[in-house]
Structure 1
Amino acid sequence: MNTKGAKWMITVSPNAADRIKKIQDETKASDKSVRIAVVGGGCSGPQYQMGFDVSYDGDSTFQTNGVTVVVDNQSLPLLDGTEIDYVDGAHGSTFVFNNPNTIKSGGNGGCGCGKSGC
């Protein structure tokens, strides 16, 4: 459920929701929402920030799979349609942002500029 207009949508997969709830319990942050933000980006696309926080005036709030997500109004259009997932891989486990608004550069989806930090 989106509390500020039905235009925007962000979802959390069941795997990500389970992991978020576990972290909330471990860190005693069960009374906080999950804040998602876009914090710049390089030629490989946006960088995401995720942490526990309270909701402020102007934030949009989403309820998905038992998790409350808050997003500031500047990040919201950049995150529309994003699904946050949690995956286990050969190199560890991580949250993954499946954002349909990003375009990957380079032949294999990576940065081709030669600079670090992109």
Structure 2
Amino acid sequence: MIPVKVSEKALKEIKKTISHKNIPADYGLRIGVNGGGCAGVSYVLGFDRKGTGDSEFILDDVPVYIAKKDTMFLIGIEVDFYEGNDARGFTFIKNDEKQQSL
């Protein structure tokens, strides 16, 4: 079971990006974190090949790669997509807390 939730809106935008940006067929969606020290973590979202330390999940025909070391930081996180007059992009939401945008 995938440790992070991806909203329908975010999944639609991910699929749109895959089809319009010529993402190679052997790439999948990478969800991860940077940091983890006193300053906390920053969330990472992009496209990448599967690495040796990755768990692989399939989300509506999209391969998702998460480094095993990042799993504990992603439990309870939701990836969403925000589109408004002020900004447009993916956001990470943790248990109704503040959003971090990419």
Q: After TM superposition, is the score higher than 0.5?
A: yes
> Does structure 2 retain, via aligned residues, the 8 Å contact 1:37–1:71?
yes
Alignment of 1:1-118 (within 5 A): 2=1, 9-29=3-23, 31=25, 32-40=27-35, 45-100=40-95
Change (3 A) 1:13 1:97: same
How many residue pairs were aligned?
98
* Larger fraction in strand: 2
Q: Offset of 1:65 from its aligned partner? A: 3.8
Partners of 1:40 and 1:89 lie apart in 2 by 29
Change (3 A) 1:64 1:96: same
> Does structure 2 retain, via aligned residues, the 8 Å contact 1:55–1:70?
yes
Partners of 1:52 and 1:9 lie apart in 2 by 18
> Does structure 2 retain, via aligned residues, the 8 Å contact 1:11–1:64?
no
* Larger fraction in helix: 2
CA RMSD of aligned residues (A): 2.7
Partners of 2:54 and 2:37 lie apart in 1 by 25
Q: Offset of 1:12 from its aligned partner? A: 1.1
After TM superposition, what 4+ stretches of structure 1 lie above 6 angstroms from structure 2? none
Q: Offset of 1:83 from its aligned partner? A: 1.2
Larger radius of gyration: 1
**Gaps in structure 2 of 5+ consecutive residues:** none
CA deviations 1:28-71 (Å, max 9, x no partner) are 11522110111116877421111111112221122234432211
**Gaps in structure 1 of 5+ consecutive residues:** 3-7, 110-118
Match of 1:114 in 2: none
Identity %: 33
Change (3 A) 1:99 1:67: farther
